[in-house]
Copies of this chain bind each other. A is one copy, B any other.
Amino acid sequence: MMQRSGRKRNKRSNDSASSLKQLPWSQVQNPYKPFEILHEGQIDAICDTAYRILEEVGMDILHAEAKEIFRKAGARVESGSDRVFIDRGLIKDAMAHAPSTITLHSRNPSHNLDLSPGKISFGSVASAPNVSDIERGRRPGNQEDYRNLLKLCQSLNTIHFIAGYPVEPVDIAPRTRHLECVADMAILTDKVYHAYSLGKERITDALEITRIAHGCESWSEFKEKTRLFTIINTSSPLRLDGVMIEGAMEMARHNQLCIITPFTLSGAMAPITVAGALAQQHAEALAGMTLLQLVSPGCPVAYGGFTSNVDMKSGSPAFGTPENAQAAMIGGQLARRVGVPYRSSNANASNCVDAQATYESQMSIWSAVMGQANMIMHGAGWLEGGLCASFEKLIIDAEMLQMMTKFLQPPEVSEGSLGLEAIKDVGPGGHFFGTAHTLERYETAFYAPILSDWSNFESWEENGSKTATERAHLIYKNILNDYQQPELNSSWKEEIDDFVARRTSEGGVTGDF
């Protein structure tokens, strides 16, 4: 038990902000077959092309130790260069060790995440350099907003994990930022969180804070479970950066999850065709996951899909497009072929919280959910193609994610729910408002929104004609107001604080990366 000390709590505080009527915490289960865009032969063709890319074009591995690991495993390393050619046999042998299902442990066991087929988890927005709300406008990321976003994510049951820093707090020095940020995630939330894989030092610090927060007295105890994850973006096309590799290898050696997510924007860093971009995505993901299986056979890895397209007029990335949706679904097919969990996103490219932000997000959510991603990054709060975290968008997304959760629970079909007796009682021309069948069920029959306003036009006008975005603003403030810090053993909390203080006084990491 993690909650050994601390103040008294009301019954619901573990799961929700008290004034908010929301769905209870639960991981989402998609009970349907994954939606498949391509047939098996087409998936074969993409996989074969990915193998040929790694065999014939190769991949630049910007890390001496990693190159050496590949070389020892039988890959051909071009002398005097970073180019590594990886044979499909080597990949298949290495990937045979990768676990097909993973449990991500939180310091609060009721918030553990099961990454097995059909199970879906939604994450927060991550890594935005800017933050906005409609009251104060757009501003650079900062610690106050960072903490407020964490508090919202903790309070909203539909946000299952912290996908990274919801916003980058640039008012904290880069060398110590990770210390304060990881400590905040470990203290202000009791959900699974992400650590950035920017070199070995930062990951080591994040592992240490997580070890303390989980009450592990030894590293061997820590390593028994997967408790932390990191996203490894390849530098597409076909390049793995040194700092990323360094952090990832450290994570793998600690039995922690690395999700290899190629940054394959079709038309820019990948071919302009969906099939070509996915072939490249598949090659890059395989190369990264293979490296980690060579580093630490059996370590948890997952397949990240982020393929979208650029606007060919401006070169700007576009998200929530038809091609993005197709790529997200096919990515699921490719990940299932490899046999590892799959990560997708809820993304959009709008510059404000409007209809575009919403329909692009819905395209992302539907395709990720129907394509059965296990982790949906940026699930709530992403705006501007990731350049801004929005408080109001976070609430709108939470509503959309809750709706999807309810949609995925098939209706009961039973004698009672079929209601023949109720229909007999009411008869032609009557109504069902006051029947026993209705009264028994009305409190839980339908999804109850946190944001949607179903009042008629006149009542809505009387209440100030507020748009969903304006209502979301009020809702986020109320949730922040009701925020309750999750319990954490006080001596562990002290230990985290001491660690952060010590490492900060030492100056943090030795290089900016």
Interface of A toward B, CB cutoff 8 Å: 32, 35-38, 42, 45-46, 49, 52-53, 56-60, 83, 138, 235, 237-239, 266-276, 279-280, 309, 311-312, 314-318, 321-323, 325-326, 330, 349-363, 366, 370, 384, 387-388, 396, 399-400, 403-404, 406-407, 409-414, 416-420, 422-424, 426-433, 437-438, 441-443, 445-447, 451-457, 459-461, 465, 467-469, 472
CB distance from A63 to the nearest CB of B (A): 14
A354 touches B468 (CB 8 A): yes
Query: Which of A312, A318, A358, A430 has the largest number of chain B CB atoms within 10 A?
Result: A358
- A53-B420, A446-B323, A468-B354 are contacts. A272–B237 as well, Cβ < 8 Å? no
Asked if A272 and B454 sit within 8 Å, CB to CB, the answer is: no
Contact B275 A447 (CB under 8 A): no
Report chain B residues within 8 Å CB of A360.
452
A235 vs B430: C-alpha distance in the bound complex, in angstroms? 10
Of the residues B352, B407, B423, contact of A467 by C-beta under 8 Å? B352
Q: How many angstroms from the CA of A252 to the CA of B428 in the assembled complex? A: 25
Q: Which B residues are in CB contact (< 8 Å) with A454?
A: 311, 314, 316-318, 349
Tally of this chain's copies: 2
Contacts of A353 on B, CB cut-off 8 Å? 355
When A38-B410, A272-B438, A363-B407 are in contact, do A427 and B355 touch as well, CB less than 8 Å?
no
A153, B336: Cα distance in complex, Å: 43
A-B pairs, 7 with minimum CB distance: A276-B419, A271-B419, A362-B362, A274-B411, A238-B428, A322-B406, A358-B358
Q: Are B321 and A438 in contact (CB under 8 A)?
A: no
- Contact check: which of B356, B396, B418 meets A275 at CB < 8 Å? B418
A359-B400, A366-B362, A468-B356 as given contacts; A351 in contact with B460, CB under 8 Å: yes
12 A-B pairs whose Cβ atoms sit less than 8 Å apart in the complex = A37-B410, A238-B428, A271-B422, A275-B414, A275-B417, A279-B419, A311-B446, A312-B442, A317-B454, A321-B447, A351-B461, A384-B457
Given known contacts A413-B275, A454-B316, A442 and B351 CB-to-CB distance under 8 angstroms:
no
Instruction: Name the residue on B nearest A472 (C-beta).
Output: B355
Q: Tell me which residues across on chain B come within 8 A of A58, comparing CB atoms.
A: 428
CB atoms of A357 and B355 under 8 A apart: yes
- Measured in the bound complex, the distance between the Cα atoms of B45 and A48 in whole Å is 46
Instruction: Determine whether the beta carbon of A428 is less than 8 Å from that of B59.
Output: yes
Residues of B within 8 A of A323 (CB): 406, 411, 446-447
Residue contact B467 to A354, C-beta cutoff 8 Å: yes
Q: How far is the CA of A457 from the CA of B351 in the complex (A)?
A: 6
Instruction: Knowing A57-B427, A447-B321, A457-B388, say if A411 contacts B355 (CB, 8 Å).
Output: no
Say whether A275 contacts B350, CB under 8 Å: no
Asked if B403 and A359 sit within 8 Å, CB to CB, the answer is yes
Q: Which of these, B280, B351, B358, contacts A359 with CB under 8 Å?
A: B358
Which residues on B sit within 8 Å (CB–CB) of A403? 321-322, 359, 363
- Indicate if the CB atoms of B268 and A431 lie closer than 8 Å: yes
- Do A279 and B420 have beta carbons less than 8 Å apart? yes
A456–B407 touching, CB < 8 Å: no
Q: How far is the CA of A387 from the CA of B238 in the complex (A)?
A: 54
